[in-house]
Chain A
């Protein structure tokens, strides 16, 4: 598995997309810091970008990379390697390379502007770790969909739909439900629904740390009320981990039974 990971990572480190992604975060963070000169505000602005963009890029690159490396996968399948190591290796190669671009792209400007001498280090850590977890989650979902659909167009369609659903549509539906049933006690329901969406969950996680009540929204407030900040964060992190494990074990299950 480590060897497959090594070659996937090596392959990706020569891809210009990796650098484009890195450059995007470098420019964005530098730009925001230059305009505001306020590390705390920049972290809040970045949060919104991270919550939309890391899932989207994970989804798109996941599908693109899988379909593009079909040749490589075919080659590997005929070698004395278990399928499990091949697919985990490829998955980790991509997730790690995307995460590296993302983390370096934000971290370097932040260090340059002296984040270490402020009390905001933990905020940044939460932001970065959430982005990394989202990258791992959505890359796994993209792999799952791509292994399921032989045809790239269908795979892309399904992957983008899942992203759109979790990043946009889900919130809309939740909001409608909350409005329609506003006379009923919905606290537990809202709490539960947040756990079922990694993007919402990440938002709550960052909000809990940043402690901005105005931005926390209904679910964030409920989360804090019921669980408190530290318990809430622990549960959020644990649930995000489960969100990685479910698609990963599902795509491994599919890959084991698939004909290539």
Chain B
């Protein structure tokens, strides 16, 4: 999946100003950047929920345009988990399965995240962390080639975070391409093969974690990013 020179504005407000990146099999790409830098808009463009003005997004060698079939190969985790509140978790899972009409494998995921006791509960009764686990379940229960994750770790407790990371590495080793946005710099530092740093709608930096650290002389990724942001403030 390739994004080439993508532009998107809402009215006068330019959100993306020529973003390019590509997702490679067996690679985890982390998109970092301050609030409002365009991370979520970028992801929504890749899913065809937001339509860019210029540039192109290519999936499996085809420009996505208004196509929808390419989404069969994407597991998507939205930033704010919004579900039909009256449904029970099990109903939601079987509904999404039925709508996608693809085989699912979720019992392992359910036990990995300890979701068994919640399967019969309506979604409106779930805590923020549990909703996020349901969100993860929906994204990963299909065997997709790409996983596009918007803040996947928001609200997870340390144990679940650990389990999530294991799972992500598993998928990576199985040759899946992963794109995730995150504010947790440690997570990106630990997991990512490639870091894309977005700033005001532009790709400010793109490369490995080590390059980023070297270039902006940080001891770790966090201080490198702090250096970038303070450079911006002074500019």
Q: Is B234 an interface residue (CB 8 A)?
A: no
**B interface footprint on A232-258 (CB within 8 Å = 1, 0 otherwise):** 000000000000000000000000110
A214 at the interface (CB under 8 A from B): no
Restricting to A60-96, which residues have a CB under 8 Å from any CB of B? 69-72, 74-83
| Interfacial chain A residues near B98, Cβ < 8 Å | 3
Chain A residue contacts of B100, Cβ below 8 A = 79-80
Q: Which residues from chain A contact B71 at a C-beta distance below 8 Å?
A: 78-80
Query: Chain B contacts of A259 at CB under 8 A?
Result: 10, 44, 49-51
From B50, B66, B76, B83, A260 is in contact (CB under 8 Å) with B50
Contact assessment for A71 and B86 in the assembled complex, using a CB-CB cutoff below 8 Å: no
Q: Report yes or no: A80 in contact with B50, Cβ–Cβ below 8 A.
A: no
Partner pick for A77 among B49, B69, B83, B95, CB 8 A cutoff: B49
Contacting residues, chain B, for A78 (C-beta < 8 A): 47, 49, 71, 74, 76, 78
* Distance between Cα atoms of A7 and B98 in the complex (Å): 10
**A71, A79, A257, A260: the one within 8 Å of B96 (CB):** A79
**By the criterion CB–CB under 8 Å, are A75 and B49 in contact?**
no
Q: Name B57-110 residues within 8 Å CB distance of A.
A: 66, 68-72, 74, 76, 78, 82-86, 95-96, 98-100
In the assembled complex, the CB of B138 is this many whole angstroms from the nearest CB of chain A, namely 8
Q: Which residue of chain A has the shortest Cβ distance to B70 in the bound complex?
A: A80
| Count: A-B pairs, CB below 8 Å | 59
A256-B68 contact in complex given A69-B84, A78-B78, C-beta closer than 8 Å: no
Cα distance, A61 to B10, chains bound together (Å)? 29
Cα separation A74 to B149 with both chains bound (whole Å): 15
Q: Are A14 and B86 in contact (CB under 8 A)?
A: yes
Residue contact A74 to B72, C-beta cutoff 8 Å? no
- For residue A38, CB closer than 8 A to chain B, the reply is no
With A77-B49, A78-B49, A80-B69 as contacts: A72 and B84 at CB distance below 8 Å = yes
Please, how many angstroms separate the alpha-carbon atoms of A30 and B48 in the complex? Answer: 51
* Most central of A14, A72, A79, A257 by chain B CB within 10 Å: A79
Q: What separation, in Å, do the CA atoms of A72 and B78 have in the docked complex? A: 13
B44 touching A80 by the CB < 8 A rule? Answer: no
List of A residues within 8 angstroms of B74 by Cβ:
78
Q: How far is the CA of A115 from the CA of B82 in the complex (A)?
A: 48
Residues 155 to 211 of chain B near chain A (Cβ within 8 Å): none
Closest CB-CB distance, A151 to chain B, in whole Å? 14
Closest to B102 in A: A80
Which of A69, A256, A260 contacts B44, CB < 8 Å? A260
Interface string of A1-42 (1 = CB under 8 A from B): 001100100010010000000000000000000000000000
Residues of B contacting A75 with CB < 8 Å? Answer: 82-84, 96
Residues of B within 8 A of A4 (CB): 99
Q: How far is the CB of B189 from chain A (nearest CB, A)?
A: 28
CA gap between A80 and B49 in the complex, in Å: 11
A83 to B65, CA, bound (A): 12
Contact with A70, one of B48, B51, B78, B82 (Cβ below 8 angstroms): B82
Nearest opposing residue in chain B for A260, CB measure: B49
8 Å CB contact of A81 from B10, B44, B78, B99: B99
Task: Find chain A residues with CB under 8 A from B76 CB.
Answer: 78
Known: A7-B95, A75-B96, A78-B76. A256 touches B66 (CB 8 A): yes
Contacts of A72 in B (CB 8 A): 83-84
Closest CB-CB distance, A82 to chain B, in whole Å? 5
Complex CA distance for A238 and B48, rounded to whole angstroms: 37
Residues of A within 8 A of B70 (CB): 80
For A256, list chain B residues within 8 Å (CB): 66
With both beta carbons as reference points, the residue of chain B lying nearest to A256 in the complex is identified as B66
Per the bound structure, the CA–CA distance linking A14 and B88 in Å amounts to: 13
Bound-state Cα–Cα, A75 to B131, Å:
14
A168 to B86, CA, bound (A): 37
Q: Quick one: which of B51, B72, B83, B95 contacts A71, CB cutoff 8 A?
A: B83
B135 to chain A, nearest CB (A): 10
Chain B residues contacting A257 (CB-CB under 8 Å) are: 51
State the B residues within 8 Å of A (CB): 10, 44, 47-51, 66, 68-72, 74, 76, 78, 82-86, 95-96, 98-100
Q: With contacts A75-B83, A83-B68 known, what are 10 further pairs, Cβ within 8 A?
A: A7-B95, A11-B86, A75-B82, A77-B47, A79-B96, A80-B68, A80-B71, A256-B66, A260-B49, A260-B50
Q: What would be 13 A-B contacts, judged by CB atoms less than 8 Å apart? A: A3-B99, A4-B99, A71-B83, A71-B84, A71-B85, A75-B96, A77-B49, A78-B74, A79-B96, A79-B99, A80-B69, A81-B99, A257-B51
